[in-house]
């Protein structure tokens, strides 16, 4: 039964950014997965390694509840949002994402001192560079996706690359 095509639908981002005045590093995903949209929060698919990676590099327990996830991000001086505000997408597949409309990240940039922007995966990075960077004039760093679709990256290898956000945070704390 291969070849079954999921329906492509125009979908709008169902929730807002997560940040506070202490946020120093912004992490942009591409667009919430079906599971994340159902949970109304970031990285809701149980196979997505985002929460394990963040927990590993900040040496914290893996959060289970949305509240624990929210606290972890804010305690680590991070901000979360996605590059895409609305798009046509089939299920959760970034490769099917078309007609992307970008999120306006100025709400975060205007309300906290973001020192560095990281994109979780190539699609987020492409959308950022095409639509958002011309408005902000700020570079972003592309990190390997924590998505289960990026199976060739082990948790250890991902954490190794993602440590760049921790190094940035350590530099922030020294200022």
As given in the structure block, the two tokens for residue 72 are: 């972890």
Q: Is residue 141 scored above 70 in pLDDT?
A: yes
All domains of the chain, ordered by start, with CATH? Answer: 12-170 (3.40.470.10)
Percent share of the chain, pLDDT over 90: 67
Which residues partner with 29 through β-bridges?
82
CA distance 90 to 106: 28
CA distance 62 to 104: 30
CB 53 within 8 A of CB 161: no
CA distance 44 to 171: 30
As given in the structure block, the two tokens for residue 127 are: 């959308």
Mean pLDDT throughout 67-77?
Answer: 97
CB 118 within 8 A of CB 28: yes
pTM score of the predicted model = 0.89
CA distance 64 to 112: 27
pLDDT digits (tens, 9 = 90+) for 87-113: 887 766 666 678 889 999 999 999 999
What is the three-class DSSP state of 84?
A: strand
């Amino acid at each position: 039964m291969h070849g079954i095509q999921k329906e492509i639908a125009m979908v709008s981002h169902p929730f807002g950014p997560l940040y506070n005045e202490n946020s120093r590093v912004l992490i942009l995903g591409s667009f919430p997965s079906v599971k994340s949209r159902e949970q109304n929060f970031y990285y809701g698919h149980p196979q997505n390694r985002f929460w394990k990676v963040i927990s590993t590099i900040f040496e914290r327990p893996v959060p289970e509840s949305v509240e624990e996830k929210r606290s972890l991000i804010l305690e680590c001086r991070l901000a979360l949002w996605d590059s895409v505000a609305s798009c046509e997408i089939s299920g959760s597949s970034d490769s099917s994402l078309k007609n992307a409309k970008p999120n306006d990240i100025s709400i975060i940039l205007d309300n906290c001192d973001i020192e560095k922007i990281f994109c979780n995966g190539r699609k987020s990075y492409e959308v950022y560079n095409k639509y958002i960077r011309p408005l902000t004039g700020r570079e972003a760093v592309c990190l390997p996706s924590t998505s289960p679709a990026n199976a060739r990256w082990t948790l250890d290898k991902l954490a190794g690359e993602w440590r760049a956000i921790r190094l940035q945070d350590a530099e922030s704390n020294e200022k």
